[in-house]
Structure 1
Amino acid sequence: MASRGLKVLPSGRPGRGRLYVNLPDGRAVAWYDRRANRISVLADERREEILAALRPYLNGTVSIGPPPVPTAADLLRLALPPDEDLAPNRAGEELLGELAHGSAGTRARHRLRQELTARQRMGEVLDALAEAEDWRVLHSIAGIADHLVIGPPGVFCLLTVQGRRQRAVVGDLLIAVGRTEPAPAPRTARRAAAYATRALSATVTPVLAVVDATRLEVTPTLRDLRVLTPSTTTPFLTNAPTTLKPPDVEALYATARDHRTWQ
C-alpha cells in the first residue's frame, strides 16, 4: 500500500514481523513492530504521512517515537546477510525442493508428500505458538532439525515422524510405525539435539513429533526424549517451567537463524 509516495512493505512471514515504511527510492523512514505495537520513526518530519500509511494495519493503542537502542541480538540480526538467514524457511523446505525438481518414482514421491504433510502440520502448530511474544520458531535447518523452538522453557529440537494413520511404538532407540521396519528416529533426534547444544552453547531438548498416528505408545523407560503430537505440543511447551528470559530467547534466536551457526 502507498500513501503520498510512501510504501508499506512487510518483513518476515506474512502477518508477523515488521512493516517498513519506505520512500519511493527504497529508503526506510519508519517501521511498525506488530509484536510490540510500536512505530519507530526515522524521519520525524514525515510523522503524519507515516501514520496515514500505517493506519490500516494498526491495532489498539500504538506507541510512536525514535528507534529503541539496539540490543546485542538486534545487532546480530542487522549484520546477518539475507542469504544466511534461516528465518524465512518454510516447514519442509527441502522436501518442497525435492518434489519440485526431483526425479523420484511414484512411490517415493508419495512418501515425500506424506513427510511434507507431517512437517507442515507441525509447522502450523509451532507458527501459531510463535504468534505469542516470547516464542521463536525456525523451520528446516538442513541436516539438523525439522523445527527448532526457542521460548521461556528453553530450546527444543524437533524431528517429525509421519504416523501414516497406523499404530506407532516409540522405544529407547527405535520407532515402529505399523508393520514397517523400525527406524532409528529416537537416536537421530538425540544426535540433532546434541549438535544443537554445541552450536548454540545452550541445553537443547530432543523432541520426536509423531503426526497422524492412530495410536501412539511410548516405552516407560524413555526419559531424555520428549514424544509429542500436534495436539499435545502447545500444552506441553506452554506449561513447561520457565528457564529463559526474553533477552535470552532473542539472543539464541539471533544465533540460531544464522545458517553459519550450523556449519
Structure 2
Amino acid sequence: MSHSTGGGRGGRRPCGGSFTKCPSYQEGAGKAAVQAQIRQQLQFIKDKVDFLIAELYFCVEEIEWAIEEALKTGMVVAATMAIGETGDMAGVPAGECAVRMAKAGAQVVGVNCMFDPDTTVRTIQAMKTALDAAGLSPYLMTQPNGFHCPGVGKEGYLSCPEFPYAMEPRLVTRFDVHRYARAAYDIGVRYIGGCCGFEPHHVRAIAEEMAEERGKMPPASDKHQPWGKSLKRHYMDFIRERAGREYWENLVPSCGRLQPPTHGYNPSPDNDLQ
C-alpha cells in the first residue's frame, strides 16, 4: 500500500518499515526471546522497504536488542523511543538513551509518540547535547503526538483523563506544528514528522515550514496558502485582518469552554453565567 500511494509527483518515495516493542520483554523472557519476536516482525522486508524504524520503545535496553537484530538485515536502522525529558521507564535519562541507541548501531535516533511537540523538542535537545558530548553524530528524528499534554508523567498522553475518546480539545493547530518543525530543525533534526493525532494538514505544515530548506513547496499546497494568506480575499473586514503569519503565530487558541472542564460540569445557562 505504501509503495502504491507514495509515488505521486517526482516518482517513488523511500518507504520505511517499522517494528516495535515485544510482549516478551515485559514478561521478562530475555534477550533471545525478544529478538526472536523481532525477527518475526521483520518478515515485512520481503516487500522491499528502504529502511527500518524501531519505534515506540519504553526501555532503552529493549531497543538496543532490537537495533542489534535489525542491523543483521544490512539495512539502515532508525531508532525512536516513546519517552520525554525524564527518560525511559527504567529511569535512564533521555540523553543516555540516545547515546546507547547510537552506540548500538542506529544511524538515526530520536523520539516518537506519547508526548506533545513542545516536550518532544526539549527531549531531542537533551539527546543532541548528550550525543555531542559523546562525540556521536547520528541523524535525529522526531515524531511527537498531535495533542497538547504538558505535565504528564512517563506514560505521556495516555495519562490524560480525556484519553482516548475526548482528546480533540487538546489537538495542536497547524501553526503549532510550524513552530515545532522550525524548532526541531534548528536543533539539528532532519527527519521531522508526527505520530498519533497528526492529520494531513499538520504534515503539510511541516513541509511548508521547511519549503525554503527543501527548495520547494509540497504538492498539497497547490490550493492552499500558508498562514491564512487566502483570507485577504474574505468579504468581512475583520477576517481579512487575520491574513498573515503575525496574527496566527501570536494567537493563543481557546478550547471554547467557559470554565475548566470537569467530569461533573453541567453546561446550563445558569452555570455559564456564574
Question: Is TM-score (shorter-chain normalized) higher than 0.5?
Answer: no
With normalisation by structure 2, the TM-score equals: 0.26
Q: Which has the higher contact order (CA 8 A, sep 6+)?
A: 1
The answer to which structure has the higher strand fraction is 1
